[in-house]
Structure 1
Amino acid sequence: MERMSSDGGSSIKRRSLSMSSHRSHHTDNGIDCESVSEAGDIGDRALPSRRFSQSNSFHSENGGGGGGVVSIPQELHTLHPNSSVRPLPHQLSSTPPLSTDARVGSQDSKFEPSKGLPEFLDYVSCTAQLAVFGILGVITRYLLQKLFGPGVANVTSNHTILYLDLPSNMIGSFLMGWFGVVYKKDISNVSEHLAVAITTGYLGSLTTFSGWNQKMLELSASGHWVISSLGFLIGLALVAVSIAFGIETAKGFRLLLNRQNITKPENGTFMINFKVDSYRRQLTIMMIFLVILGVLWGVSGALVKAKFKRGGSAAELWFACMVGPIGVWIRWFLARLNGHGLGKDGLRFKWIPFGTLIANVSAACAMAALSTIKNAVNTRNCDTVVAGIQFGVMGCLSTVSTFAAEFNAMRKSSDPWRAYAYAAITICVSFSFGILIYCVPYWTKGFDIDT
């Protein structure tokens, strides 16, 4: 009898250990998927006011107001420097209780009341900074097109694999390695809005996936299928190398700073005392950026009015600056989907950054549709408006820098195949829809365009 009891106890113990190991592996895999898919952007979930609001809601729903505490896995606190992912019920129930240091209402500063702006003003401040940096990204992309294009350096063109937006995509990906990967935490320590504005606003608008996809569509429509295919492969390789080079050079620069004792030795962050964390400072920054945005829109509107009748690239640029922030805002809101999978439990295909994927695919499809309209109408005013929307809204809605950051994170994860699957899904879906939207009308209607 004792032997049976002992064997039964051992069996239960082994089964318990096996189940515990399975739950641990499942949780670790989910955390890895989530952190990888959030490598580029998490949208408005990064806002301090929204994080505090969600944590308060989660606390109250689980008995926080009545004196009870709910254990939260410590790993879920460290998914991402700016992560605010709310733990799912199954993740809480499958994780053993932790110490009070990892509980809601404890000394974790992430759940302390915010000292900054209320949620509405927090949104206003962040969207204003996104708009300003987005306009600067549009202008920079335009200047790089002119600098490397046929008019000056004659490196890029519409007729070769080296498409016009390739330099901006490479430079933006390189800078993403610096400011979106290595130094993002340092920038966030000063201002989380600034970190979002630089990565999502400036670098996201400096790079464009829709422009890249459209040039390959135009080459395919003209019968240059080999060049189009090579354009995707070489473009992806150059972007991947650019962000990897940016990360390595940024790490080297940080190492140099560590030797000069400019950074904190324990975490390598800059020793900066100034932080935009008070209500007054955040309100001041918000007002400054609202004024800057008003000036940029006013100047752009005046220049569009002066140059619209004559058309040309200058009119298209300033019209793009007026409408570009719309694309930035949409992409930023879509980024909240990154880190969330499919299904009721949100666990299926959690490793896919659906926010970035939807932004790039939808922008590529809209770009192809606008090109078809432009070819069909073929008037100067229509060309100016359509080109401005393409360069501004679609150029800012799609992004290569964030895509590159996600691709790089997946490539370095425990499942590197996901990086290439994600890239293939993005490119194949965008190109396939583009064939139907742009190339089929081009072939059937016989549009005469200069590609």
Structure 2
Amino acid sequence: MDCETNDPEPRRSGSFSRMSSAGSSLRKRSFSLSRAVPSRVDDDLESETVSEAGDIGDRALYGNTYSESGRLQDSFDNAIENGVVPTPEGALLQSYGFWSRDPAVSNTVSPVTPLPEEIISPLSTDAIIHTGDEKQENKRELPWLLEYISCLIHLAVFGILGVLTRYLLRNLFGPGVVGATSDESYMYFDLPSNMVGSFLMGWFGIVFKADISKVSDLLAIGLTTGYLGSLTTFSGWNQTMLDLSVEGQWVFVVLGFLIGLFLSEYSIIFGVETAKGFKWLLKRLNTSSEHDISSSKSNWKVDNCRRHLVVLVVLVLMLALLYGVSGAMEKREFNGGSSGAQLWLACMVGPLGVWIRWFLARFNGRGLGRAGLLKWIPFGTLIANVSAACIMAALATVKKAVKTKNCDTIATGVQFGLMGCLSTVSTFIAEFHAMRQSKSPWRAYAYATITIVISFGLGTLIFSVPVWTKGYD
């Protein structure tokens, strides 16, 4: 298979002399920009960044629709890591502008959309310019389509692992072992997995995500969107509250939502704080061997075609093994209608839920319509959680109406796998946490309220009302 150069930015003509000649005029424009740019632009940029705190879906794989705010944040993070602080005018342009990818306008200078090589700093051009490493530019990586397929395989493998982990946590903390959770209490079955997933999101989705991405961007997507997104589930949480409402346990319903929300939020806070402490400790311990560590990181980095293909082959084999085992076990246990049969079916349909959620995440940070209204609402995550909660309620209604062993096995397997992976608490809580840390913390509670009220309200119409009217047991 031929590999092609995957350069995320189109080649641009020009030299450093042209950049230097444009520098003084660019700085002058930046000072006028500081007086001309309205505060609304700053609010829109923050709204977009906060909305994309959890995931941006497949926009991460092709640059022409990649998040502007995400690119700018990466530039600042890299500049800070390199020990270089951008100039005030450079920082201002970074805050309010992004560069065009259209070659037709690649040689124009705009005070709002400067090219990265046209942002001049007297301290160092390497703070913003990321073209100094010729080796990085000449890396030969996977073709785009194959990279997209590789990402889907990452999501599928990690998604199945997330389903298995969620099942183990349910059984561990359920009535059979620890007895901390049950389906008749506000301490619902999926609370431990939601808390563990939120805690790990603080580690791998916030603090160490950039470090993981330096090794492999697809690994970062697989861990956060695939594993942690499937380990946690919003639809299971919502359905337990619907079951409690049918039984008239309205106090438990309110407590279940409040406790579930704040325990997950404090889990991610605890994850962020412990991860930062661990990262600080690693830096202190590894100061003397910094060169060896950098060399070790480069050895593990998946940054060329050969390494991409090796990882892809390994993951394909893992996926084939997981599907093979799941299919064989499902065939053997299906007629028995056991929880094992439901689990293996969930593993087989779970990846589809991960893929749909990942695709929907492209709408995060985009807002509504061409004007981009309400950018602060992560519509992709919202749609995934609400739709999964509604389908989960519909399947629960079917189980109540049909009452057969096979129907129960299929419906429960789809609920636990497909709907459990389509909905997520780890991403939802990451967005909630980012909103609480923003300039408008009220948005966090508004977003949580919108998600919960719509999901529970529609679930009541789909599940609770039929149960009340038909008198299902």
**Normalising to structure 1: TM-score of the pair?**
0.83
Q: How does 1:247-262 map to 2 (within 5 A)?
A: 247-261=272-286
Q: Taking structure 1 as reference, are residues 185 and 446 closer, same or farther at Cα in structure 2, changes over 3 Å only?
A: same
Out of 236, 242, 249, which is 1:211 matched to? 236
Secondary structure class of the residue paired with 1:309: helix
Aligned length: 407
Out of 314, 329, 336, which is 1:288 matched to? 314
Question: Is 1:392 aligned to 2:414, yes or no?
Answer: no
Partner of 1:181: 206
Question: Is 1:441 aligned to 2:466, yes or no?
Answer: yes
Please list the CA deviations of residues 388-434 of structure 1 after superposition, one character each: whole Å capped at 9, or x if unmatched. 00000000000000111111111001111111111111101101100
Partner of 1:163: 188
* Structure 1 residue 272, shift from structure 2 partner: 1.4
Partner of 2:42: 28
Q: Taking structure 1 as reference, are residues 277 and 256 closer, same or farther at Cα in structure 2, changes over 3 Å only?
A: same
Find the aligned partners of 2:257 and 2:186 in 1 and give their Cα distance: 8
Please list the CA deviations of residues 235-261 of structure 1 after superposition, one character each: whole Å capped at 9, or x if unmatched. 101000000000000001011111112
RMSD of aligned residue pairs (Cα, Å) = 3.1
* Structure 1 residue 304, shift from structure 2 partner: 0.3
Find the aligned partners of 2:469 and 2:69 in 1 and give their Cα distance: 59
Partner of 1:194: 219
* Structure 1 residue 291, shift from structure 2 partner: 1.2
Find the aligned partners of 1:381 and 1:275 in 2 and give their Cα distance: 47
Question: Is 1:376 aligned to 2:401, yes or no?
Answer: yes
Partner of 1:361: 386
Out of 453, 463, 469, which is 1:428 matched to? 453
Percent sequence identity is 58
Indicate conservation of the 8 Å contact 1:263/1:270, yes or no: no
Find the aligned partners of 2:113 and 2:146 in 1 and give their Cα distance: 39
Please list the CA deviations of residues 110-149 of structure 1 after superposition, one character each: whole Å capped at 9, or x if unmatched. 9957631111100111111110110000000000000000
Find the aligned partners of 2:235 and 2:446 in 1 and give their Cα distance: 19
Secondary structure class of the residue paired with 1:308: helix
Q: How does 1:19-418 map to 2 (within 5 A)?
A: 21=35, 23-47=37-61, 50-51=62-63, 75=72, 78=75, 95=112, 97=114, 100-102=117-119, 107-109=129-131, 112=137, 115-261=140-286, 272-273=297-298, 274-346=300-372, 348-418=373-443
* Structure 1 residue 443, shift from structure 2 partner: 0.3
Letter in 2 for 1:108: H
Q: Taking structure 1 as reference, are residues 98 and 288 closer, same or farther at Cα in structure 2, changes over 3 Å only?
A: closer
Please list the CA deviations of residues 163-188 of structure 1 after superposition, one character each: whole Å capped at 9, or x if unmatched. 00000000000000000000000100
Indicate conservation of the 8 Å contact 2:346/2:414, yes or no: yes
Indicate conservation of the 8 Å contact 1:31/1:75, yes or no: no
* Structure 1 residue 34, shift from structure 2 partner: 1.1
* Structure 1 residue 27, shift from structure 2 partner: 2.5
Letter in 1 for 2:335: K
* Structure 1 residue 97, shift from structure 2 partner: 4.7
Please list the CA deviations of residues 315-343 of structure 1 after superposition, one character each: whole Å capped at 9, or x if unmatched. 00000000000000000111111110112
Letter in 1 for 2:367: G
Indicate conservation of the 8 Å contact 1:116/1:278, yes or no: yes
* Structure 1 residue 345, shift from structure 2 partner: 2.8
Find the aligned partners of 2:436 and 2:71 in 1 and give their Cα distance: 25
* Structure 1 residue 222, shift from structure 2 partner: 1.0
Letter in 2 for 1:95: V
Partner of 1:7: none
Letter in 2 for 1:39: A
Find the aligned partners of 1:269 and 1:359 in 2 and give their Cα distance: 39
Partner of 2:92: none
Find the aligned partners of 2:183 and 2:347 in 1 and give their Cα distance: 23
Q: Taking structure 1 as reference, are residues 430 and 54 closer, same or farther at Cα in structure 2, changes over 3 Å only?
A: closer
In structure 1, the gaps of 5 or more residues are 1-15, 56-70
* Structure 1 residue 74, shift from structure 2 partner: 8.1
Indicate conservation of the 8 Å contact 2:364/2:380, yes or no: yes
Find the aligned partners of 1:425 and 1:87 in 2 and give their Cα distance: 34
Find the aligned partners of 2:323 and 2:116 in 1 and give their Cα distance: 52
Find the aligned partners of 1:45 and 1:77 in 2 and give their Cα distance: 15
Find the aligned partners of 1:264 and 1:367 in 2 and give their Cα distance: 52
